[in-house]
Chain A
């Protein structure tokens, strides 16, 4: 019965009832306020570095999401096809390779990618910042795409437990259409979106973690300054570290709070960007789960 009796129609009602959109708005608004504050009080070179770092991190994160989706879809659908094919050898081999990949901790996998990138930089094979970012995104995607593949397989497996797949097969509908259109597109977009938002958050987290680890330098010739400017890279910068440490001054000199948000802005802005973005991304993902009643 499609009778709708909504009473609250104001945009505020709609926004507060949709937590994901609410937190997206909070994220954009928070970053907007930070941008205005930094434009007023942060020195121009640091402000430019911060903007570049934010955009680069965002771009890398988006590339990770795209690569993970492509790899996850390919692996998830391939495993499903091989599992239900006559020969089980292909499924066993691909499952084995997947399990090997799964056994490598994400941070180690990304670190290996950075080591290879260092060698490529050292030998002058890669020079462009964009190609470096693509490499970094590809490395992170290889470390995290299994989560997307698992979600895809779970969705397909769930629908296979119902009459859903069999009923469509009996009507002559192709299996590839049932999986890609009926299960993944029509019934799993919310699940996938939730997973991809989480992947985006993980990619930011991994970037920052790795940037901190390699801030000591990966070789005598290659260090953080050779890599594209990202939020993690900027946070690992010695100026930013000093800005963060300046917070400890507040314990002995509480009056210092009056200048901390103008004099130590680079480090605090980067830290705020990372923490605030992670929180908002987490809340957006939760909002989507709640709005679409995902388990």
Chain B
């Protein structure tokens, strides 16, 4: 396979952000770029796509200054014939043009198949059809993140069709294009991606943390598999490098997990949440059936995982925040141990009895949940633990989720300098170290590479053996389904498909 090898150095204010000697990009193939968040996948891709500002960052490609690369024919061709789907779609959409106008801007105007692409991307969507948003001027809050991502994906697919004559010179980069999509919509996107690839045989980079992409490609498109390369960006001993990731690594791990029996053994119930919760004028209902016909209380049992599923935006995070007493409901009834918690329960009661004692929760955004200005060792300060943790215990705990035993230097690094994956592991460890009855995990595998995700799953299993009850919210259904008995899977429904949260900035 024809490959282009890059040597890339990116620095800012004297600090090296990325330094890699062997970044390889296969031509006329789909490269699925894996690796924990914050390791440099987006930055490297943006550098190759010619999207970095040489005034802001000190960039060298193949030993030459970035300005020289930007003037090269290769970079000009990529910019002219390629497309970059940003992880944060709002940054790419023009708020002064309707989405329809942006879909037909410049070279996209003449591209065919717009209707078919949109129909496919919106197929099975629970929200109203795509037509209702096409005449909207994009705002930070409307359309939703998932809708914006699909609009950008549609632009990319149109651009692919428009650049059909230049497939050898083009590059299409999709940076976490399914981050805001549920599994069904993700699959629609992947199908469209493969279909377009088959037609154009262009060069595609798909950046993702979603390992179930591997299963989808392998199981549904075995004939295209030879043109799909999985590569993982790794930081080893302070050095960044790209390794070939064999799909079998993930698939055999998954198969092994699927082979283990998950009994729906009924252990002691530690938490019972009544099936209807009213908040912000909406009613959230819980059921075991996907349609929500038969609402049932949500139960968390000792030594078992309960899995709460729902499409993005229904209110999964909201309901666990309600269960933690962080949001005040209009009506709610929850039995925890021998006590009943409701909308009348005082915040002080949650602080004295629940937080860090009976229940704890891991938030999905480690960047927000951790103090970026703290040192690694300080993450565990202030926890309600009888004996303060010394450095030896901290190192032992860290080594459970980190590849190498952390050094003393690592303990003194400020969190803001860690990669997204390292932050997420610290975020998890802070809660895992507590001896609570219940552990709530909101997207615990966010930003993790495969090795770390496997370690997290193993750690959760250890916690289950010691009697923890675990509630999980996650888009990684393929992985968590291997951990949960069918009887412990619940579905969340809202009286409206989207929950409007109040403006907390004015609290």
A and B found bound together: yes
| Chain A residue, CB-CB nearest to B433 | A171
| A169 with B371, Cβ < 8 A, contacts A3-B19, A3-B238, A174-B382 known | no
Q: Does B249 contact A (CB under 8 A)?
A: no
Instruction: Contact check, A163 vs B368: say whether CB atoms are below 8 A apart.
Output: yes
Q: Which residues of B contact A1 (CB under 8 A)?
A: 16-18, 40, 235, 238, 240, 417, 419
| A167 with B369, Cβ < 8 A, contacts A1-B238, A173-B382 known | yes
> What's the nearest-Cβ distance from chain A to residue B43, in Å?
11
Instruction: Contact check, B417 vs A166: say whether CB atoms are below 8 A apart.
Output: no
Instruction: Contact check, B324 vs A186: say whether CB atoms are below 8 A apart.
Output: no
Q: Which residues of B contact A86 (CB under 8 A)?
A: 346-348
Q: Which residues of B contact A171 (CB under 8 A)?
A: 355-356, 360, 383, 430-431, 434
Interface centre among B382, B383, B384, B419 (most CB of A within 10 A): B382
Q: Which residues of B contact A6 (CB under 8 A)?
A: 14
| Chain A residue, CB-CB nearest to B361 | A170
| A5 with B356, Cβ < 8 A, contacts A163-B365, A167-B361, A173-B383 known | no
Interface size of B by Cβ–Cβ distance < 8 Å?
48
Expressed in whole angstroms, the Cα–Cα distance for A163 and B362 within the complex equals 10
Expressed in whole angstroms, the Cα–Cα distance for A191 and B431 within the complex equals 30
Q: Does A123 contact B (CB under 8 A)?
A: no
> What's the nearest-Cβ distance from chain A to residue B437, in Å?
13
> What's the nearest-Cβ distance from chain A to residue B413, in Å?
6
Expressed in whole angstroms, the Cα–Cα distance for A49 and B168 within the complex equals 82
Q: Does B504 contact A (CB under 8 A)?
A: yes
Q: Does B505 contact A (CB under 8 A)?
A: yes
Expressed in whole angstroms, the Cα–Cα distance for A171 and B369 within the complex equals 11
Interface size of A by Cβ–Cβ distance < 8 Å?
31
> What's the nearest-Cβ distance from chain B to residue A52, in Å?
42
| Chain A residue, CB-CB nearest to B380 | A171
The segment from A106-114, A175-183, A194-202, A277-285 found at the interface with B is A175-183
Expressed in whole angstroms, the Cα–Cα distance for A86 and B17 within the complex equals 47
Expressed in whole angstroms, the Cα–Cα distance for A103 and B326 within the complex equals 35
Instruction: Contact check, A169 vs B368: say whether CB atoms are below 8 A apart.
Output: no
Q: Does B451 contact A (CB under 8 A)?
A: no
| Chain B residue, CB-CB nearest to A189 | B373
Q: Does B116 contact A (CB under 8 A)?
A: no
| Chain A residue, CB-CB nearest to B320 | A170
Q: Does A96 contact B (CB under 8 A)?
A: no
Q: Which residues of B contact A162 (CB under 8 A)?
A: 368
Instruction: Contact check, B363 vs A5: say whether CB atoms are below 8 A apart.
Output: no
| Chain B residue, CB-CB nearest to A170 | B361
Instruction: Contact check, B371 vs A164: say whether CB atoms are below 8 A apart.
Output: yes
> What's the nearest-Cβ distance from chain B to residue A99, in Å?
18
Instruction: Contact check, A161 vs B324: say whether CB atoms are below 8 A apart.
Output: no
| A182 with B371, Cβ < 8 A, contacts A3-B19, A5-B15, A169-B351 known | yes
Expressed in whole angstroms, the Cα–Cα distance for A172 and B436 within the complex equals 10
> What's the nearest-Cβ distance from chain B to residue A227, in Å?
43
Among B370, B381, B382, B413, which residue has its beta carbon within 8 angstroms of that of A2? B413
| Chain A residue, CB-CB nearest to B440 | A170
Instruction: Contact check, A169 vs B16: say whether CB atoms are below 8 A apart.
Output: no
Instruction: Contact check, B384 vs A5: say whether CB atoms are below 8 A apart.
Output: no
Instruction: Contact check, A164 vs B368: say whether CB atoms are below 8 A apart.
Output: yes
Instruction: Contact check, A5 vs B11: say whether CB atoms are below 8 A apart.
Output: yes
Among B16, B19, B360, B374, which residue has its beta carbon within 8 angstroms of that of A186? B374
| Chain A residue, CB-CB nearest to B326 | A166
Expressed in whole angstroms, the Cα–Cα distance for A203 and B11 within the complex equals 42
> What's the nearest-Cβ distance from chain A to residue B142, in Å?
20
Q: Which residues of B contact A167 (CB under 8 A)?
A: 361-363, 368-370, 427
Among B326, B360, B362, which residue has its beta carbon within 8 angstroms of that of A172? B360
Expressed in whole angstroms, the Cα–Cα distance for A238 and B4 within the complex equals 81
B220-254 interface mask toward A, CB cutoff 8 Å, 1 = contact, 0 = none? 00000000000000010010100000000000000
Instruction: Contact check, B351 vs A175: say whether CB atoms are below 8 A apart.
Output: yes
Instruction: Contact check, B17 vs A187: say whether CB atoms are below 8 A apart.
Output: no
Among A2, A7, A175, A182, which residue has its beta carbon within 8 angstroms of that of B374? A182
Expressed in whole angstroms, the Cα–Cα distance for A84 and B325 within the complex equals 13
Expressed in whole angstroms, the Cα–Cα distance for A173 and B360 within the complex equals 11
Q: Which residues of B contact A163 (CB under 8 A)?
A: 363, 365, 368-369
> What's the nearest-Cβ distance from chain A to residue B166, in Å?
36
Expressed in whole angstroms, the Cα–Cα distance for A181 and B504 within the complex equals 23
Instruction: Contact check, A170 vs B356: say whether CB atoms are below 8 A apart.
Output: yes
Instruction: Contact check, A166 vs B507: say whether CB atoms are below 8 A apart.
Output: no
Q: Does B357 contact A (CB under 8 A)?
A: yes
Expressed in whole angstroms, the Cα–Cα distance for A80 and B361 within the complex equals 24
> What's the nearest-Cβ distance from chain A to residue B80, in Å?
33
Q: Which of A62-87 contact B (CB under 8 A)?
A: 84, 86
22 A-B pairs (CB sep. < 8 Å): A1-B18, A1-B235, A1-B419, A2-B413, A4-B14, A7-B14, A86-B346, A86-B347, A157-B505, A163-B365, A163-B368, A170-B355, A170-B361, A170-B431, A171-B356, A171-B431, A173-B382, A175-B351, A178-B382, A181-B382, A182-B374, A187-B372
The interface of chain A, by Cβ under 8 A from chain B, is 1-7, 84, 86, 157, 160-164, 166-175, 177-178, 181-182, 186-187
Interface pairs A-B: 6 shortest CB-CB:
A172-B356, A167-B369, A172-B384, A163-B368, A173-B382, A3-B16
